[in-house]
Amino acid sequence: MVDRSDQTIRHIVIVGGGSAGWLTAGVLAADHRAAAPDGLRITLIESPDVPPIGVGEGTWPSMRDTLRRIGVSESAFFRSCDAAFKQGSLFRGWRDGSAQDYYFHPFSLPQGFGDAPLAERWLQRFTDTPFADLASHQPHLCAQGRAPKQMATPEFASVANYGYHLDAGKFGLFLRQHCVERLGVRWVPDHVVGIEAHDNGDVRAVRTREHGAIEADLFVDCTGMQSLLLGKHYEVPFVSQKQVLFNDSALAVQVPYAHEDAPIASQTTSTAQGSGWIWDIGLPARRGIGHVYSSAHTTDDKAEHELRAYVHASGGPAPDDQPRPRKLTFQPGYRERFWHRNVVAIGLSSGFIEPLEASALAMVELSAAMLSDNMPATRADMDIVARRFNDAFRYRWERVIDFLKLHYVLSDRTDSAYWQDNRAEASVPERVRELLALWRHRPPSRLDFHRLDEVFPAASYQYVLYGMGFRTAPTTHAAWRDAETADEHFRQAAALTTRMLGALPGNRDLINHICRHGLTRI
């Protein structure tokens, strides 16, 4: 057996395109100078026979940093990807299903977060106003359809924190063009028909239909839910989370606007249903709407009926005039390991939970960044990096699961077995039960989340916790001690809201400006 421990990592092959493959290719190629003669070689093999799933149309603000990292023009991104601004999520009907049941999870932190006991003060005096509405300007911007920046604000800069809504199919094509033309990525449009291994068990090459065997030192599995390398070849087990989060099906449809200048929502709207929830995402040319549900709690026909009723009630065509929705199925969970030998899985090949809070593309970004930032120099180094990678992403998947479960376990809905089962103790991870016990007496804080690179900040937990009606009974006098400081931050948030509403354009107005004139690059 040949000792390959000192083998230098010179060539990386990414198997699979779409958003995951091309984002990974872009980060690696930009960071490691793939276009230079002495740079790291990056090859991406993309099957023309496998269309992208194309459902994940929401991003986090981190996508701005990722696009800037790989040298993309934000103006070109908007023009090519039918993109819009996203400033957070609006949840309707999750608490009790009443007409007054709503709350925002904005991307901006509460005004003065970390400087004063904002949540304690809100609980003490201001609970008649939703927490996010009092502590942040951003829910008001969303409610009024405002953009998060002005027309003179440079690319990727912001007045209010933002991510994107986008057409996932167009996004993949946009990234492919950028990676191939600007970053030196070699694109091989071909279908993988086999995998060849070294004597030591590493993957030596992937065998393609038209280009034969393509060798590499490190392989990135971006083959989606089939997980061709990590799952099928190495048989790394899949850790199901169906016992915690029940959703395993979705019906997705594209809906035209009633007129071409209709407002574009500045947030993802998530509306609870009897056995799931409906997402509503506004793009410049259309709305993307889908019903996520548990097949154990409802039928496809009933889910489609609820989806069609929602589309019509929200300004879309009558049920009989709507296109037939596309059916998607998935198993919520993740791989036991994400990096095994010389294969690392990124995207759906590593795991998927559900679309709530749009974590899928964020996990791709985190994976690509960690791989690039910790690129092993040799095969021996690879094992060390792999252990760290696996530890980091087990933790991150667990945090995603905890945060998503929080939305369900806090609900007071009793109209179906779905909501009741979501509150059953057996379905709630012990981690979540422990946190809720602590939060009965103090709000979520950085003390609860110990890593510097947490997936969700403590502020996000506060937004969801208090938006869902949870009440903390503080045992300290912090709110009284710093009451004036907290009140001043609330006043600042209100003043900032007034200024921003008067100065920021509408979402569609700014997007039209970008498509016609572009933004200033810095």
Q: Which CATH number does the domain housing residue 199 bear?
A: 3.50.50.60
Annotated binding site: 17-20, 86, 192, 348, 357
> Is there a domain that residue 208 lies in?
yes
> Is there a domain that residue 140 lies in?
no
What pLDDT does residue 4 have?
A: 66
What pLDDT does residue 1 have?
A: 57
Model pTM score: 0.96
> Is there a domain that residue 84 lies in?
no
> Is there a domain that residue 35 lies in?
yes
> Is there a domain that residue 99 lies in?
no
Instruction: Provide the domain count of the chain.
Output: 1
Measured CA to CA, the distance from residue 369 to residue 352 in angstroms comes to: 19
What pLDDT does residue 452 have?
A: 83
Q: Is 86 annotated in the active site?
A: yes
Buried b vs exposed e over 168-192: b needs ≥16 C-beta within 10 Å? bbbbbbbbbebbbeebbbbbbebeb
**pLDDT, block means (10 residues), the chain with 522 residues:** 78 97 98 97 92 72 98 98 97 96 98 94 95 98 98 98 96 97 98 97 97 98 96 98 98 94 97 98 96 98 98 95 95 98 98 96 97 97 97 97 98 97 97 97 92 93 98 72 92 98 98 97 82
Annotated binding site for L-tryptophan: 357
Question: Do 385 and 376 form a contact (C-beta atoms < 8 A)?
Answer: yes
3-state class percentages of the chain: helix first, strand second, coil last, to nearest 5: 40, 20, 40
CB atoms within 10 A of CB 487: 15
Measured CA to CA, the distance from residue 83 to residue 282 in angstroms comes to: 9
> Is there a domain that residue 444 lies in?
no
Annotated binding site for 7-chloro-L-tryptophan: 86
Give the Å distances, CA to CA, from 521 to 157, 342, 402: 10, 39, 39
Measured CA to CA, the distance from residue 259 to residue 520 in angstroms comes to: 30
Coil/strand/helix, residue 85? strand
Question: Do 306 and 266 form a contact (C-beta atoms < 8 A)?
Answer: no
Question: Do 393 and 349 form a contact (C-beta atoms < 8 A)?
Answer: no
Only one residue has tokens 């030591």, namely 200
Question: Do 245 and 353 form a contact (C-beta atoms < 8 A)?
Answer: yes
Range of the domain at 365: 11-57+167-242+332-399
Measured CA to CA, the distance from residue 355 to residue 3 in angstroms comes to: 44
> Is there a domain that residue 250 lies in?
no
> Is there a domain that residue 30 lies in?
yes
Amino acid code (one letter) for 253: V
